[in-house]
Amino acid sequence: MLRIGLSQVTSSEDPAENLELIRAEVARAAAEGARVVVFPEAAMVRFGVSLKPLAEPVDGPWAKSVAAIAAEHDVLVVAGMFTPSDDGRVRNTLLITGLGQHLGYHKIHLYDAFGFRESDTVAPGADVVTTTVDDVTLGFATCYDIRFPELFRRLADMGASAIVVPTSWGAGEGKREQWDVLVRARALDSGCWVLGCGQADPAATGTPVNPKAPTGIGYSTVSDGFGRVHAQLGAGPELVVVDVDPQVTEKARAATGALANRRL
């Protein structure tokens, strides 16, 4: 078993303020025995503001501060941030730090959809990333990535038993229903546990945000490889801690044959 905490928060426009939120939430999750603590996409600073002036490398001061928090509590922390890109844009990056690791996953699929153009300000990544905690291999994806099953199958082929998916899901008609389906579908496609950790809905706490930006709807969801939902939060800020059993992944893959029976 690997105990993973999902911290569904509403990030502000201030990276320093968000760092203190991460500090408090890591302490809460670690007190419940979590070995991995996951925060949403854009945990460093929410969408809807200028990102380039706030972007820092994964060895910059904000990320190093998160690493110090992870070290203090002996956990792996996964948190969305923005890092500089050579082409003048930024990268939408998952910081993965703690337990002797410090790396980043750059979001591959950019949210040029539903009237939003992430690629105007964000450069895509290219590398598929996994890491291992207590003999359980974790894969990483970000928000819009969840619409692309090939990424999740690639992560499964690389040995992942669970895939964490930090998000800042865009609101709109049918968007929650799509989120519900996609988390379970990607779990079924790959046989993996899929742990989707979203930004809370700012409306739940009366937080004003840019209405044109994808700033979260809540409803963080955990599904196993059989498509069974083990946890789902509501719209507001909340913490959930779940136990991920990699043996369930093996059983799901053996039962469904969704990976072994591929022809394309």
Locus of tokens 């809807």: 48
Helices (H) and strands (E) in the chain, counts: 5, 15
**CA distance to 36, 89, 146, 165, per residue, from 10 (Å):** 19, 24, 21, 16
Report the first-to-last Cα separation within the chain, whole angstroms.
Answer: 33
What is the rounded distance in angstroms from the CA atom of residue 234 to the CA atom of residue 205? 12
Task: State residue 191 phi and psi, 5-degree precision.
Answer: 75, 0
Task: State residue 190 phi and psi, 5-degree precision.
Answer: -105, -15
Catalytic residue numbers read 41, 107, 143
Nearest in space to 167 (alpha carbons), one of 153, 186, 150:
186
**CA distance to 11, 143, 226, per residue, from 213 (Å):** 13, 14, 33
What is the rounded distance in angstroms from the CA atom of residue 49 to the CA atom of residue 55? 12
Query: Residue 122 carries which DSSP code?
Result: E
Contact yes or no for 39/25 (Cβ under 8 A): yes
